């Protein structure tokens, strides 16, 4: 495998597009897993943790590649990310506990 610096623009574009497609595919698969887990009453903690971890890795790598750590956009993006993580944790942890409390499981 060649280093990324030696690739021309077209090869870099293909590489970036393939990584974006792989990310979107994994995101869809994990979301389907979580939704199916709620309906089939199986544990959705693992795909939830993967989704949250994937969001963290994507955010951090995006900030590194943009090199905008000292920019004002970084603060706004981090607030949005933290809100998204809080919503994800609420959905993953508290909704199944509500089902257990109602006697559904």
Query: Tens digit of pLDDT for each residue in 11-65?
Result: 777 777 888 888 888 888 888 888 888 888 887 777 777 777 777 777 777 766 6
Write down the pTM of the prediction: 0.51
Burial class (CB in 10 A: 0-12, 13-18, 19+), 90: exposed
Domain carrying residue 77: 4-101
For residue 101, pLDDT over 70 is answered with no
Q: How far, in Å, CA of 30 to CA of 28, rounded?
A: 6
- Number of domains comprising the chain: 1
């Amino acid at each position: 495998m060649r280093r990324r610096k030696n690739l021309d623009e077209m090869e870099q574009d293909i590489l970036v597009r393939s990584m974006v497609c792989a990310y979107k595919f994994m995101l869809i698969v994990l979301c389907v897993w979580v939704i199916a887990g709620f309906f089939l009453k199986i544990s959705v903690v693992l795909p939830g943790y993967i989704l949250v971890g994937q969001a963290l890795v994507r955010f951090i790598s995006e900030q590194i590649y943009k090199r905008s750590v000292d920019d004002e956009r970084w603060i706004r993006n981090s607030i949005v990310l933290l809100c998204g993580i809080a919503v994800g944790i609420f959905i993953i942890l508290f909704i199944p506990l509500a089902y257990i409390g109602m006697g559904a499981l």
